[in-house]
């Protein structure tokens, strides 16, 4: 492959090195097949009949996380125009526990993670799910669904 940065030309030895590096990356660290397969399957998560609640606050971005005795806690807020959903996420080792508070939407809460669905009753806006695996997660209540977040 020829060099594509005429303003900062490489000498031939460096150009050859770049080509070798490309080969090495392709040979030794290609995109794993299961990553490609998961990416292709991601389209099936699309829902046209649901409203997306965007992530508007994440304590993991704001600070180093709140530590309880032996767990780590993360607070997430999602919103649509009419609905707000707060998640209180607790990590204990590799297990995740979620407590949520939803206002403006009715129905059970369904937590989707790693191909699993966990349904929780919503009582006066509150719900809780424990023993979740870590991974890309979203929560659905009624016709709203949160943005995906890595828990």
Partner 1 sequence: MDVRSVLASAAAGDQAAWDILVDRYSSLLWSVARGFRLGSADAGDAVQLTWLKLVENLDRIQDPDRLAGWLATTVRRECLQLIRRNSRTRPMPDTGLPEVADTAPPVDDRLLRRERDTELWRTFAQLSESCQRLLRVLTAVPAPAYLEVAAALEMPIGSIGPTRQRCLSRLRQLVDATAALGAGEGERP
Contact residues for partner 1, defined by CB under 8 A: 1, 4-5, 7-8, 10, 13-14, 17-18, 20-32, 34-36, 38-40, 42-43, 45-46, 52, 60-61, 64-65, 72, 91, 135-136, 147-150
CB-wise, 42 or 106, nearer to partner 1? 42
CB-wise, 109 or 149, nearer to partner 1? 149
Q: How far is the CB of 8 from partner 1 (least distance, A)?
A: 3
Q: How far is the CB of 51 from partner 1 (least distance, A)?
A: 11
Q: What is the DSSP string of the chain?
A: -----TTSPPPHHHHHHHHHHHHHHHHHSPPPHHHHHHHHHGGGG--SSSEEEEEEEEHHHHSS-EE-SS-EEEEEEEE-SS-EEEEEEEEETTEEEEEEEEES--S-EEEEETTEEEEE--BTTEEEEEEEPSSEEEEEETTEEEPPEE-
Q: How far is the CB of 70 from partner 1 (least distance, A)?
A: 12
Q: How far is the CB of 40 from partner 1 (least distance, A)?
A: 5
CB-wise, 31 or 69, nearer to partner 1? 31
């Amino acid at each position: 492959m020829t060099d594509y940065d005429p303003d900062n030309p490489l000498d031939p030895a460096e150009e050859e090195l770049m080509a070798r590096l490309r080969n090495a990356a392709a040979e030794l660290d290609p995109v794993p097949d299961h990553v490609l397969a998961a990416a292709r399957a991601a389209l099936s998560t699309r829902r046209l009949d649901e409203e997306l609640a965007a992530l508007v606050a994440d304590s993991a971005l704001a600070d180093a996380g709140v530590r309880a005795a032996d767990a780590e806690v993360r607070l997430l807020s999602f919103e649509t125009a009419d609905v707000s959903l707060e998640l209180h996420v607790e990590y204990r080792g590799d297990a995740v526990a979620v407590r949520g508070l939803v206002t403006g939407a009715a129905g059970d809460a369904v937590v989707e993670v790693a191909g699993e669905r966990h349904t929780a009753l919503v009582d006066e806006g509150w719900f809780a799910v424990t023993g979740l695996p870590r991974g890309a997660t979203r929560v659905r209540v009624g016709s709203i669904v949160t943005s995906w977040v890595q828990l």
